[in-house]
Amino acid sequence: MKWMAGASPEQAMGAADASSAPVWTRRVLVASGVLAVLRLLYSAQVELAPQEAYYWQYARHLDWSYFDHPPMCAWLIGLSVKLVGVSELGVRIPSVVSMTLLTWLLYSLGKRLYSPAVGALAALAANATVLFGLGAVVMTPDVPLVLCWTAALRVLCELVLPDGKGAGRGGFRWYVLGALCGFAMLSKYTAALLPPQILLTALLSPRGRASLRSPHPYLALLVALAVFSPVFIWNAQHDWASFAFQTRGRMRTVHGLQPHLVGRYLGLQAVAVGPLLYLSLLLSAILLVKPALRGDSRARLLCIASLPGLLIFSGVSPLHWVKMNWVAPAYIGVFVATAARWHEGWRVQGRKLYASLALGTGALLVLGMYLMPLWPAIPFKEKDNLVSGWSQLARHVQVQRERVGTPGAPPPLVVGWGYKTASELAFYLPDHPETQSDPALGGSGLAYDFWWDSIGPHSDALVVADDRQPLRDASTRLAAHCDEVRPLPPVTVTRGERPVTTYRLWHCQGWRREGRERGATAPGRSG
């Protein structure tokens, strides 16, 4: 196929595409700017997802790293809320900015490898997916991870492609690449795949092999480790708890082959990027292999950037629940490959129709997900709705806090069963109190295990549990940690008139915290 042939990018794009580069650049700049403004406006209107509230809790407890994730997400949120205040917009500004930069980087990557039109199509494809389009307004560790991953691929182009620019600046680019790898690993542990992929790409490239005979790649590795060092520092201070959780802790949740998980994995990925686009991405990953093995430098770079991640997570899927967002970095390379394949066959009616349908259905999925919290008429499985009802819950909990509180005494400690409820209540209660989670009742609460120092003296606790994650042994567990337990009125939160879930509340008088589990030895789940 011509889109994978060994011609240089300039030859591949042709004179017409080369002359149209400024036009495509303006289009991408305008489109990404308009999307950024719309996303900022939207971000201020929708309540935080539980993971966002949890990472905001990270930012309140700034540290070198955290139990279940590296610190980059927390640092960005901390900086943002410092600048604009504690609000949904404050938490999400980094995600909007990052997706805007990612759009530009995808355009630049596709343009560098093939043509401006391919770059624009790759950027459009990413924005027309739930994974990236919705990810632009949901702040998670995947946001800086994918941004740094894509930037690293763009820098790698100049180091390994035959027509790489600025040969005399190779050393500097290696150090930039090392820093980007470090920042990616500071974002999420998935980035550990990136350095081996870069090394393999370099080993298979004549220019890359020449670079490996210089000290620059090895010094770049030291740069990456230096940037990543805060994670080592935190782990050394906490008995290597995060590394243990990500290894032994994850392995403990593997219970043999579970074929039904494969169907769940494939279904989630089809939703994440759209069913038609997902098929095209998988086909592109397969089609990359042959030209990569034949020595095509562009196909090889994209293949190594995507195929390992796709294979690893597909291989893990029968053994462990693979979340929708885990695969995100692996899609970057195949976005570009798919855009190149579509662009080559754009005049073929069937391929043009398929591409248009793939992008259109993906965009409609994104639009539906955007509108769901704002427009109750849109059908949605409410038990999976995690962005509605938190303000309603907080108002009810605040009424109960005031009712059971004792004048002159510290207010009752708010305990959310599950880190999601605890984090949302910390954000939406009017005084942003320090809340606690499962550790207050003898369980494991991920990072909440490490946040006891900020909890002041409390004689009482107000316990809140979501029916979607019920406190199953409530009477026994509460009796073990309370002198007296009184049920409080429950509350059912809604999206419009549709019930989302019900929360149960208890007033725990004479609360005690002893007997809790901690860290990687206890079960827990985080994205």
| Secondary structure in 3-state letters for 7-74 | CCHHHHHHHHHHHCHHHHHHHHHHHHHHHHHHHHHHHCCCCCCHHHHHHHHHHHCCCCCCCCCCCHHH
Domain identity same for 70 and 165: no
- DSSP one-letter code for 486: E
* Residue 362 maps to a domain: no
Helix residue ranges, H only, 294-373: 297-316, 331-344, 349-371
Domain identity same for 446 and 490: yes
Per-residue pLDDT of the chain (527 residues; tens, 9 = 90+): 555 554 444 444 444 455 677 888 889 999 999 999 999 999 999 999 999 999 999 999 999 999 999 999 999 999 999 999 999 999 999 999 999 999 999 999 999 999 999 999 999 999 999 999 999 999 999 999 999 999 999 999 999 998 767 555 668 999 999 999 999 999 999 999 999 999 999 999 999 999 999 999 999 999 999 999 999 999 999 999 999 988 876 777 777 788 888 999 999 999 999 999 999 999 999 999 999 999 999 999 999 999 999 999 999 999 888 899 999 999 999 999 999 999 887 777 778 889 999 999 999 999 999 999 999 888 888 888 999 999 999 999 999 999 987 777 788 999 999 999 999 999 999 999 999 999 999 888 899 999 987 777 778 999 999 999 999 888 888 999 999 999 999 999 999 889 999 999 999 998 887 644 444 444 444 56
**C-alpha–C-alpha distance, residues 122 and 199, integer Å:** 25
The helix or strand, by DSSP H or E, that contains position 470, with its residue range, turns out to be none
Domain identity same for 406 and 502: yes
* Residue 280 maps to a domain: yes
Domain identity same for 394 and 517: yes
What is the SS3 assignment for 208? helix
Domain identity same for 426 and 508: yes
Q: What would you report as the CA-atom Rg of the chain, rounded to the nearest whole angstrom?
A: 25
**C-alpha–C-alpha distance, residues 472 and 459, integer Å:** 24
- C-alpha to C-alpha distances, 517 to 56, 67, 206, 242, nearest whole angstrom: 24, 14, 53, 15
Q: Which domain holds residue 460?
A: 390-521
* Residue 363 maps to a domain: no
Last residue of a domain, one of 140, 156, 183: 140
Number of structural domains, the chain?
Answer: 4
Domain identity same for 449 and 394: yes
pTM of the model: 0.91
Domain identity same for 398 and 320: no
